[in-house]
């Protein structure tokens, strides 16, 4: 849902997205772009067609509903629902739209069989196994049982066997990736031994760049497509070639004022000026998903320079230090993310100040009104 009440504008550069897709294609033979959560806040309906035009034939969305929206947009695309059927209405919808749904419980297989029988058409599923996240998925030990259940079903075809890695972005925990891959191998053997030709999929962005041995048949890159480096801040940071950040976010400078020495700024008086200084008030706050956690920690960008956030981020207003930007004027665009020069703010930097990861920054800031550039 778009935040409709503000001056914050999200700009999505579709050429940047294509650049990142090309980079990923250089590493992964068969990447299925992950476009869940409205393409990580970049807008599913704008992002997916661009990637499809660039050659992507499979994509992963989140809920069945989101996957159905994607399929409606691109009827020839192979569409995966990563969350799979959760609600009663998901079963007929998945069937009607010919989605490949993640399945992680036997009950889901039986309900899908029932639905497919009613319609009289076969249905494809992706078997999700939990090899180390302790989240959704069959346990590795259930593989033979799942295969036996499938044998007894008439309408359900297993199209993929999948699992998800917990530590692919952390070189210090690469042995855990190896443990998960080993468990995944064991699962694949069960299905291969039965002569079932099922595609295997394990790799997220971290594994696309860091673990070429675990690419299998289909890779599932998400964050890298949007320009986030999965290894940011780790020893493997430089393993990833320069990605282009697809999202930048601006708002307006709405007032400039001078505060005197000893004067405090914003709620709680957490910032008190030590000298006379020029400050700017910008039209953004936590109601626009600009986290209050950025109070006195974040930086913004205007007129070629980075400026610090002063004091507490409010609901719709935030103060910045304009001491070193004497030419700033009311009405200027202020970047919360991105910028037009070498001092531009990267998503990984903003995430670090925010105390989170690039994924959350994209998902949250992306809920503001968006516009697109770089269309073909
Ligand atoms: C989100 C997601 C991905 C993509 O992960 P990134 O780290 O963004 O590359 C891959 N697989 C599944 C199942 C996911 O939910």
**Does residue 300 form part of some domain?**
yes
CA 210 to chain centre: 18
- What value does the mean pLDDT take over residues 18-43? 98
Q: Is residue 352 part of a domain?
A: no
Evaluate whether 165 touches 206 at the Cβ level (below 8 Å). yes
Q: Are residues 253 and 212 in the same domain?
A: no
Mutate to test the pocket of ligand 1, among 17, 34, 84, 102 (most ligand atoms within 8 A of CB): 34
Taking the model in full, what pTM does it have? 0.96
Regarding whether 105 and 206 lie in a shared domain, the answer is yes
Looking at residue 243, its pLDDT comes to 96
Please determine, for residue 229, whether its predicted confidence score (pLDDT) is greater than 90. Answer: yes
- Look at residues 221, 239, 257 and tell me which one is the last residue of a structural domain: 239
List pLDDT tens digits, range 242-260. 999 999 999 999 999 999 9
The whole-number pLDDT of residue 1 equals 63
> Would you state the pLDDT for residue 195?
83
- 278 and 225 housed in the same domain: no
Just list the catalytic residues: 36, 267
Residue pair 177/183 in contact (Cβ under 8 Å)? The answer is no
Which pLDDT tens digit goes with each residue over 256-273? 999 999 999 999 999 999
Distance 63 CA to ligand 1 centre (A): 13
The pLDDT assigned to 209 comes to 98
Q: Which atom of ligand 1 is nearest to the CA of 204?
A: 9
For 29, the domain range is 14-239
Residues touching ligand 1 (Cβ under 6 Å) are 34, 36, 82, 164, 204-206, 220-223, 230
**What is the predicted pLDDT for the residue at 213?**
98
- Name the nearest CA neighbour of 36 among 61, 58, 56: 61
Q: What is the CATH number of the domain that holds 256?
A: 2.40.37.10
Give the pLDDT mean for 313-337: 98
Based on the domain organization, do 141 and 168 belong to the same domain? yes
% of the chain residues with pLDDT over 70: 99
Claim to verify: residue 235 and residue 251 sit in the same structural domain: no
Concatenating the DSSP letter of every residue in 237-299 gives GGGSPPPPP-EEEEEEEEEEEEE-TT-EESGGG-EE-SS-EEEEEES--GGGT--GGGTTT-E
Nearest to 129 by CA among 183, 206, 192, 86: 183
Instruction: Give me the phi and psi of 147, to 5 degrees please.
Output: -60, -40
Whether residues 253 and 222 share a domain: the answer is: no
Cα(233) to centroid of ligand 1, in Å? 19
């Amino acid at each position: 849902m778009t935040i409709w009440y503000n001056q914050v504008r999200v700009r999505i550069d579709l050429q940047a997205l294509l650049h990142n897709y090309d980079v990923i294609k250089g590493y992964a033979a068969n990447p299925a772009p992950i476009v869940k959560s409205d393409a990580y806040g970049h807008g599913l309906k704008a992002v997916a067609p661009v990637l499809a035009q660039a050659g992507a034939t499979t994509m992963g969305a989140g809920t069945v509903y989101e996957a159905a929206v994607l399929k409606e947009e691109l009827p020839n695309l192979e569409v995966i629902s990563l969350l799979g059927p959760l609600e009663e209405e998901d079963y007929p919808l998945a069937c009607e739209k010919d989605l490949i749904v993640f399945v992680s419980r036997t009950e889901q297989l039986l309900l899908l069989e029932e639905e497919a029988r009613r319609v009289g058409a076969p249905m494809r599923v992706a078997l999700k196994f939990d090899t180390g996240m302790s989240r959704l998925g069959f346990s590795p030990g259930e593989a033979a049982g799942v295969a036996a259940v499938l044998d007894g079903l008439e309408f359900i075809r297993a199209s993929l066997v999948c699992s998800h890695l917990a530590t692919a972005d952390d070189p210090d925990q690469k042995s855990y990736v190896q443990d998960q891959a080993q468990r995944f191998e064991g699962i694949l053997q069960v299905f291969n031994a039965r002569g079932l030709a099922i595609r295997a999929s394990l790799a997220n962005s971290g594994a696309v760049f860091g673990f070429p041995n675990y690419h299998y048949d289909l890779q599932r890159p998400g964050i890298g497509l949007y320009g986030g480096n999965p290894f940011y801040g780790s020893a493997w940071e430089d393993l990833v070639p320069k990605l282009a950040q697809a999202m930048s976010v601006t708002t307006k400078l709405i007032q400039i004022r001078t505060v005197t020495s000893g004067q405090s700024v914003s709620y709680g008086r957490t910032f008190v000026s030590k000298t006379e200084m020029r400050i700017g008030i910008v039209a953004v706050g936590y109601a626009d998903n600009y986290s209050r956690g950025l109070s006195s920690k974040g930086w913004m960008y205007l007129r070629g320079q980075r400026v610090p956030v002063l004091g507490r981020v409010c609901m719709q207003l935030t103060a910045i230090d304009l001491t070193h930007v004497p030419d700033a004027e009311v009405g200027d665009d202020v970047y919360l993310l991105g910028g037009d020069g070498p001092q531009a703010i990267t998503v990984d930097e903003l995430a670090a100040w925010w105390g989170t990861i690039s994924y959350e920054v994209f998902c949250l800031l992306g809920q503001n009104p968006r516009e697109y550039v770089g269309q073909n």
